[in-house]
Amino acid sequence: MRFVFRTRYEQDLRLFKDNGQKFCYGLLVAALLLAPWLFPDYFVSQLVFIWIYSVVGLGLMLLVGYTGQISMGHAAFLAMGAYTEAYLQSKGWPFVLSLASAAVVSGLTGIVVGLPALRVKGMYLAIATLAFGFIVEEAVTRADGVTGGSSGMTLGSLEIFGLPIDSEQRFYYVSLAVLTLCILGVMNLMRSPTGRAFVAIRDSEISAQSMGINLGRYKTIAFALSAALAGVAGALYAHKLRFLSPEQFTFLQSIELLIMIVIGGLGSIHGAIFGAAFWILAQQFIVIAKDWLPAAIGQQTGLQPTVFGIFLVAFVLFEPLGLYGRWLKIRTYFEIFPFYRKGMFKRQKSYMKSERLK
């Protein structure tokens, strides 16, 4: 049992609520820093994928989980970041500069895509972003002067301040550092007035507007930041794979990113990371499981979508807060032991809210 008794306002604003949290996260950071020395290369490589997906998941979480705007074209922002990075790197730009440019280019695109968000909302916005995703995918395929078209584009080796990033371990630290910066950035953003405005817009546009929040402005900011994070992730992704082709950034990828954060848990930073970890680890488990499943099931190409589909449906129906919700429930159970009640996290039923009346 543990009580955090708040006596000052600063306690609400702190990044870490108490010393216990500081200790736990300190342990986690130490473990992550040691991981590349303890685990084989293949495992480290999968961890890198988790960090990269966490960054894009954070971006999408900012938009979907915190601001309540749906994007079904996030793979397009990933593509913008990846190709910007690849192009600038081939022109000899240093990594820090090209990474920043990838974020900026992606973010500016986000603003352009966010513009329809000023006029339309809900489903229409989802369809607008979906349309944008398809257009970018096609544009990347056709602009073969810059992107290599459907035959793809390869990247040279990465170098940061003269230090060659030539091993899995070194790239692990680069991506972990980027992820940590992104998480701290998003955490700070969510404590700021801008972040609070996002949440207010998600919960009710009308009441947010009545409190003096400029809807258009904050939605555009959310789109831009979300796209910029996706751009950063795209740049890392480009260096991880060292080969880019348009098939990596399809509509399916956008949908999978959405599924990832929903399984992780909407509306929490933990959710983005849990979702990414789940996504990568589950894929690995499926690959392993294929060997000992009977061939009739194990050798099916549809195994992975089926498993993820079942997980998504089950989470939406039974655990709407996702993996983070499950974690929160277990943690709460122990924290307030023995006072946990069954109905503590019960979903609020509400009357159907109509979006038809604007």
Q: Which of 22, 119, 217, 242 binds other proteins (CB under 8 A)?
A: 119
Any contact of residue 309 with other proteins (CB under 8 A)? yes
Q: Are 182 and 232 in contact (CB under 8 A)?
A: yes
Q: Which of 33, 96, 97, 120 binds other proteins (CB under 8 A)?
A: 120
Q: Kindly report each contact of residues 164-173 with a partner whose C-beta sits within 8 Å and lies 24 or more positions away, as own/partner.
A: 165/239, 168/36, 168/41, 168/44, 168/45, 168/48, 169/36, 169/37, 169/41, 169/44, 171/48, 171/239, 171/240, 172/35, 172/36, 172/44, 172/47, 172/48, 172/51, 173/36
Q: Are 137 and 79 in contact (CB under 8 A)?
A: yes
CB of 304 to other proteins, least distance (A): 7
State how far the Cα of 120 lies from the Cα of 345, in Å rounded to an integer.
33
Any contact of residue 154 with other proteins (CB under 8 A)? no
Q: Which of 35, 126, 281, 336 binds other proteins (CB under 8 A)?
A: 126
CB atoms within 10 A of CB 313: 10
Any contact of residue 111 with other proteins (CB under 8 A)? no
CB of 79 to other proteins, least distance (A): 15
List the interface residues with other proteins, window 186-245 (CB under 8 A): none
Q: Which of 36, 57, 68, 195 binds other proteins (CB under 8 A)?
A: 68
Pick between residue 7 and residue 354 the one whose CB is nearest to other proteins. 354
CB of 315 to other proteins, least distance (A): 8
List the interface residues with other proteins, window 318-337 (CB under 8 A): 320
Pick between residue 126 and residue 199 the one whose CB is nearest to other proteins. 126
Q: Give the chain's end-to-end CA distance (angstroms, integer).
A: 47
SS3 content of the chain, % helix, strand, coil (to 5): 75, 5, 25
CB of 59 to other proteins, least distance (A): 17
Pick between residue 24 and residue 313 the one whose CB is nearest to other proteins. 313
**Contacts with 292 (C-beta within 8 Å, 6 or more apart), sequence order:** 298
CB of 48 to other proteins, least distance (A): 26
Pick between residue 127 and residue 183 the one whose CB is nearest to other proteins. 127
Q: Which stretch binds other proteins (CB under 8 A): 22-30, 99-107, 135-143, 154-162?
A: 135-143
H runs (alpha helix) in 143-192: 144-147, 168-191
Any contact of residue 346 with other proteins (CB under 8 A)? no
Pick between residue 176 and residue 200 the one whose CB is nearest to other proteins. 200
State how far the Cα of 22 lies from the Cα of 5, in Å rounded to an integer.
17
State how far the Cα of 227 lies from the Cα of 325, in Å rounded to an integer.
26
Q: Which of 88, 178, 233, 258 binds other proteins (CB under 8 A)?
A: 258
Any contact of residue 303 with other proteins (CB under 8 A)? yes
**Count of alpha carbons within 13 Å of 338, Cβ hemisphere only?**
0
Binding site for other proteins (CB under 8 A): 64, 68, 70, 116, 119-120, 122-124, 126-128, 130-132, 134-135, 138, 141-142, 251, 255, 258-259, 262, 297, 300-310, 312-313, 316-317, 320, 347, 349-358
